[in-house]
Amino acid sequence: MLGRMFGPAWHHNFTRPKGEYEIVEGIGANIFRVVLDYYRGGTLQCPDGVSVSELREACDYLCINFDYSTVRCRDLSALLHELSNDGARRQFEDFLEELVVPVMVASAQEGERECHMVVLTDDDLVDWDHDHPPPLGEECSQIVYSTKLYRFFKYIENRDVAKALLKERGLKNIRIGIEGYPTCKEKVKRRPGGKSEVIYNYVQRPFIQLSWEKEEGKSRHVDFQCVRSKSVPNLMASVGEGLSRPPAPPTPQVDELDRLLSPEPRPQPLVPPPDHC
């Protein structure tokens, strides 16, 4: 396509090059020069000063395979970061279909509109006291046992990739992080009065919280019906009467400091009343 655009076959009315052309917004001249080298030699020689992430976006737009067989870069950290993002995306797509989606479907079948799941390892054991369960708040967490998914979420970059993929799938209010989760009771404390308190052992494990609620702003809003008062038979009439009367002058507010600083009024002399004949 580029050969036909800028080659000698311009007279076929495919395009008539006159000066500089913008292929797509975001692909600069330095990036496009690297792309032209790929068409000549079959490799992308990324020089110093060229962003690997911008080169990756250009390859995605121009449908060029971006991997180690086609890209040569001196900054191996940036190159491996982009390759890890590709691998993490493919891996989480498998985790999503095998582990995450079944838990969301089970929650949806119970009428829920959101889901909170904790990822535990295959060796984790959850043993709670039935009489004294740990305080977990309002949300009930679903448990996913997978050591591979636990290792996947150890890296914040992988959590960002997973969050972007879940957002592309139409989910909302996505939170992925690390939190403490109670696994088993550690000891029991006896408090005065015969009450006992169970202390649990907490481990740091990844969690996923998301929602598929459509009317998320309206579900938590409560409308109260306005009940008409029986003591006022005609509400509009009472309002009209209140508007017809002149408003009472506001009572001046006297500050205690003003009262202390203001001079005390002098007592007026008593004047005897005049004599009447």
Residues 6+ apart with CB under 8 A from 194: none
Chain segment 70-88, per-residue pLDDT in tens: 898 888 899 999 999 999 9
Chain segment 257-277, per-residue pLDDT in tens: 455 555 555 555 555 555 554
Q: pLDDT class for 195, splitting at 50, 70, 90?
A: confident
Task: For residue 84, give Cα distances in angstroms to 37, 146, 163.
Answer: 25, 21, 15
Closest CA to 181 of 207, 153, 203: 203
Write down the pTM of the prediction.
0.64
Residues 6+ apart with CB under 8 A from 27: 35, 54, 57, 58, 61
Q: Which carries the bigger pLDDT value, residue 105 or residue 13?
A: 105
pLDDT for the residue numbered 101: 95
Q: How far apart are CA 263 and CA 257, in angstroms?
A: 12
